[in-house]
Amino acid sequence: MVSVLPRLGVGIGWRPEIDLTVERLPGVEFVEVIAENVRGWSLPESLRLLMERGIPVLPHAVSLSLGGADPVDRSRVAHLAAAADALGAPLVSDHIAFVRGGGMEAGHLLPIPRTRDTLDVLVANVLDAQAELPVPLALENVAALVEWPDAELTEGQFLAELVERTGCWLLVDVHNLYVNARNLGHDPREFLDTVPLEQLAYVHVAGGQDHQGLYHDTHAHPVPQPVLELLGELRHRVEPPGVLLERDDRYPADAELAAEIASIRAVVEPAA
Amino acid sequence: MSGPPEGARERLAAAQVALLRALLENAEAPPGFAPERLRAQAEALRRKRRRVVANLRPELLDQLGDRFATLFDSYARQHPRRTGTTARDDADAFARWLAHRDDVPRSPSRWWHRFRS
Amino acid sequence: MNATSLVWYALLLVGGTVWGCWLRQHVTRPRDWLPLERPLDLYEVAYLSGGPRRVADTALTRLVDHDALRVSRHGRVHATGRVVTDPTGQVDAVDAHLLALTAVPGGVPADRLVTCLAASPAVDFLGRWLVERGLAAPPADVRRARWLSTTPLHGLAAAMGLHLVLGVGAHRPGLAGLVLVTELFAVLLHQFPPGVATPLGQRVLHDVEEARRTGAAPPPQLAAAMAGAAGQVAVGGLAAHPDSPLRRALSRRGERAWAWCWPSSSSCSSS
């Protein structure tokens, strides 16, 4: 891959509920918007305002189901491409997951089996999607509560091979690494050592909650300290082009969001 | 473009549909999965779906109170969301399902005029 | 329609308007009162300035200012989990009610919150306290005055409408125009809510305003509260909100036709 992605800095997920907050939070250098909610012909005023200020707005898709067995839905890819155009985004993203099958919609990003078979299907789907997209595609590791049996690769190996075969970029969610370490016993350090971090587009940081013995990726709770430490581990290996705080529910006071952004910045820009 | 090897999509489809059935329709756990994890994942999916519906139709939550979660879960088990439907379709279908069972008043008028200034 | 009818029409129009204005004035006439035992607080100033809805606008502005509520550009309000307390650690009853109203998943449109809060027992209690001290007119009287003040105009429009339907063929366009103008005038008059403060209440308000201007506000707590956006909204309504995106967000009309207060088991269902 010869393309070079821009430095993004520290950002936050833009959601309609916190639009005014995001506009006014100090230190927000880029935002991400759920691609499925973007309609090019009627961008929210808040997003237009951010774009006018030169803040990159990246569409983040959740419904391509690239890890699904079916070939990618071209209309969904076309929507993502249109969102990228409307927002003037330098890259787009989705997940290494599946969300539907057999006519059923899971409503959530589910993990896929880490087998050669699956990797082949995933690679074909990603290549198909990339062919229709005007900008680079970054793919994100997901959080899981269930583990597929008979894995042939670790998550890191699986992603490394995906990047090698498709040239996609990586969107590393350190909270999802933490969730999988807690629930599935995965080793996040092995992950960070194995994936090609030179293909890192940016990083997601979020919070979750313990519930009945499992740790859930809620995006509705503060970022726990171990997740910031994992971000630090990543920072030791590479300087991430961007780090984005994801919050999707139970939005706290502006001051608390500002404090979370500041603590993320303290990890990735320690000298500043 | 060279696609995935012969039969790869079919094998993956069978595996993913079996998992979805277990998670969304309470079908038998596919071999190799920890049943208690499947239950936890299924519950998490329903909780997320329930929260989306509660956001779209808070008046249902208001009318049903503590029964909302139980009723929604039994609705969800019988009606997995179909591909091509929206969250709003889901919320409306739940409201119809409730009305059909006479769990909430059929007509919205009872709470509609509850407050007029 | 001849000249005599026109004169009658003009007389009735003027008479109806005078009656309406008098009624609106009369409702805030001086009444028996108890002595005022303490200075007014922010919400009481808001009530005297613009009635129950003004209190709700002020509370919404104040809690957004204090990061306890968040409003989106679409006018949807969510609680942030913060609680605002006074120096003694107490939560104001109006604030507590407002926070309870916002505990709806998905948030609540600001205009519905204002409607619900304005009709809440907390604001009602505040209003009654001011009425007992002779500062405000009873809210039921104010509501009645608002409706009755336009009744003669509606009646006039209706009578002419009847004339138009049953009457002679001549001058129909002119008559129709007059019906329209009269009704429009009545509706317009209804849009302006009558004042709430009695002469005594206006004097107290004037003192507050004076103290604010000169910076010599005797009760420091009120002075602090009046200094922010909430103080400006209390005195001047939402239109006086100094932050224009917030002002637009808070003044947005909700997208749902039905109104319903959360949770329905509380206060609002009884009204």
Q: How many CB atoms lie within 10 A of CB C52?
A: 25
Interatomic CA distance for residues A234 and A73, integer angstroms: 34
What is the reported pLDDT for C255? Answer: 54
Structural domain span for residue A169: 9-267
Structural domain span for residue C203: 42-136+197-270
Q: Which chains touch A (3 or more CB pairs under 8 A)?
A: B, C
- Measure C15 CA to nearest chain B CA, in Å: 28
Q: Do C119 and B117 touch (CB under 8 A)?
A: yes
Q: Which of A32-46, A83-97, C192-206, C211-225 has the highest mean pLDDT?
A: A83-97
Where is pLDDT greater, at C56 or B62? C56
Asked whether residue A1 is assigned to any structural domain, the reply reads no
Asked whether residue C19 is assigned to any structural domain, the reply reads yes
Q: How many structural domains is chain C composed of?
A: 2
pLDDT digits (tens, 9 = 90+) for A6-39: 899 999 999 999 999 999 999 999 999 999 999 8
The region of weakest confidence among A15-19, A235-239, B96-100 is B96-100
Q: Do C260 and B62 touch (CB under 8 A)?
A: yes
Q: How many structural domains is chain B composed of?
A: 1
Where is pLDDT greater, at C223 or A94? A94
Asked whether residue A66 is assigned to any structural domain, the reply reads yes
Runs of H (alpha helix) within chain C: 3-26, 42-65, 93-101, 110-118, 121-132, 139-148, 151-166, 172-191, 199-214, 220-227, 229-236, 244-251
Structural domain span for residue B105: 35-112
- Measure C221 CA to nearest chain B CA, in Å: 33
Q: Regarding beta strands A104-110 and A30-34, do their DSSP bridges make them parallel or antiparallel, or are they unpaired? A: unpaired
Q: Do B45 and A103 touch (CB under 8 A)?
A: no
Asked whether residue B95 is assigned to any structural domain, the reply reads yes
Asked whether residue B8 is assigned to any structural domain, the reply reads no
Asked whether residue C36 is assigned to any structural domain, the reply reads no
Q: What is the CA radius of gyration of chain C?
A: 22
Residues C155 and C86 in one domain: no
pLDDT digits (tens, 9 = 90+) for A70-82: 999 999 999 999 9
* Residue B81 with chain A: CB contacts under 8 Å: 104-105, 107
- Asked if B13 contacts A70 with a C-beta cutoff of 8 angstroms, the reply is yes
Residues C87 and C208 in one domain: yes
Question: Residue A272 pLDDT more than 90?
Answer: no
Which residues in chain C (222-251) have CB-CB distances under 8 A to chain A?
245-246, 249
Q: How many structural domains is chain A composed of?
A: 1
Give SS3 for C215: coil
* Residue B54 with chain C: CB contacts under 8 Å: 105-106
Q: Do C80 and A18 touch (CB under 8 A)?
A: no
Size of interface A-C (CB pairs under 8 A): 42
What is the reported pLDDT for C160? Answer: 84
Give SS3 for A56: coil
What is the reported pLDDT for A4? Answer: 72
Asked whether residue C141 is assigned to any structural domain, the reply reads no
Q: Which chains touch C (3 or more CB pairs under 8 A)?
A: A, B
Asked whether residue B28 is assigned to any structural domain, the reply reads no
Asked whether residue A211 is assigned to any structural domain, the reply reads yes
Residues C154 and C80 in one domain: no
Going by pLDDT thresholds of 50, 70 and 90, the confidence category of residue B105 is low
Place of tokens 């609002």: C268
Question: Residue C68 pLDDT more than 80?
Answer: yes
Going by pLDDT thresholds of 50, 70 and 90, the confidence category of residue C270 is very low
Interatomic CA distance for residues B19 and B11, integer angstroms: 13
Q: Do A253 and C68 touch (CB under 8 A)?
A: yes
Residues C123 and C58 in one domain: yes
- Measure A136 CA to nearest chain C CA, in Å: 31
Q: Which residues partner with A244 through β-bridges?
A: A11, A204
Runs of H (alpha helix) within A25-135: 45-52, 74-87, 116-132
Dig out the tokens for A258 from the structure.
């500002």
- Asked if A14 contacts A50 with a C-beta cutoff of 8 angstroms, the reply is yes
CATH classification at residue A40: 3.20.20.150
Residues C211 and C78 in one domain: yes
Asked whether residue A39 is assigned to any structural domain, the reply reads yes
Dig out the tokens for A255 from the structure.
């001051």
Q: Do A70 and B13 touch (CB under 8 A)?
A: yes
- Asked if B46 contacts B40 with a C-beta cutoff of 8 angstroms, the reply is no
pLDDT digits (tens, 9 = 90+) for C158-181: 988 888 888 765 667 788 888 898
Question: Residue C2 pLDDT more than 90?
Answer: no
- For CA atoms B92, B93, B94, B99, the dihedral sign is positive
Across B7-35, average pLDDT: 96
What is the reported pLDDT for C170? Answer: 61
